[in-house]
């Protein structure tokens, strides 16, 4: 009798373990599929409901300097910080761009190789006036020449974005 109970318990345990493995495998496959398409930085976000760079530019153009907008949009990476990966610029329509930093300095993007890849960013959009000193600092971090840095002589109003999550399309 003890042998029958033992065999029944062992069979039940094996069946239960197989079911768990199947569920786990399904989850791993879905995660792997997402990871193959995008690298995730910061908070885990999805590409769902991201607006285009043209729609984002229209939103920026309708904003006042005191406005803040929670939004998710997709664009191409123009440049990244070559020292740490602590910021990036994204292309908008009409040769405009947006400067993206990362919430609480909590994560960074790749310093090299991300340019021209598609990125999806989620966070807060705002407009900011940037001082001459800050513009020169950013130009130096971006690897600009001293002649290009010296041409910066007046502050500018810029489109800014504080990202809490970033997806960067993996190389094909």
Binned at pLDDT 50, 70 and 90, residue 19 comes out as very low
The yes-or-no verdict on residue 11 having pLDDT over 80 is no
Q: What is the mean pLDDT of the chain?
A: 82
Residue 71 and residue 21 in one domain: no
Residue 31 and residue 47 in one domain: no
Residue 33 and residue 45 in one domain: no
DSSP sequence for 9-64:
HHHHHHHHHHHHHHHHHHHHHHHHHHHHHEEEEES---STTPBPHHHHHHHHHH--
The yes-or-no verdict on residue 22 having pLDDT over 70 is no
Residue 30 and residue 64 in one domain: no
Residue 107 and residue 164 in one domain: yes
What average pLDDT does this structure show over 87-93? 96
For the entire predicted model, the pTM comes to: 0.66
Residue 49 and residue 108 in one domain: yes
Residue 24 domain boundaries: 2-38
Residue 13 and residue 75 in one domain: no
Total domains in the fold of the chain: 2
Residue 97 belongs to domain with CATH number: 2.40.50.200
């Amino acid at each position: 009798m003890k042998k029958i109970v033992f065999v029944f318990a062992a069979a039940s345990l094996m069946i239960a373990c197989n079911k768990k493995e199947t569920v786990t495998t399904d989850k791993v496959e879905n995660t792997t599929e997402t990871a193959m398409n995008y690298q995730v930085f910061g908070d885990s976000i999805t590409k769902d409901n991201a607006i285009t760079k043209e729609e984002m530019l229209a939103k920026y153009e309708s904003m006042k300097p005191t406005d803040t907008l929670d939004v998710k949009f997709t664009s191409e990476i123009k440049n990244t910080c070559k020292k740490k990966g602590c910021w990036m610029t994204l292309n908008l329509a009409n040769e405009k761009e947006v400067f993206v930093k990362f919430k609480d300095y909590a994560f960074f993007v790749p310093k090299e190789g991300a340019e021209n890849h598609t990125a999806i960013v989620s966070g807060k959009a705002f407009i900011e006036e940037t001082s001459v000193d800050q513009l020169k600092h950013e130009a130096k971090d971006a690897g600009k020449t001293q002649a290009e840095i010296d041409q910066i002589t007046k502050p500018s109003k810029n489109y800014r974005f504080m990202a809490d999550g970033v997806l960067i399309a993996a190389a094909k």
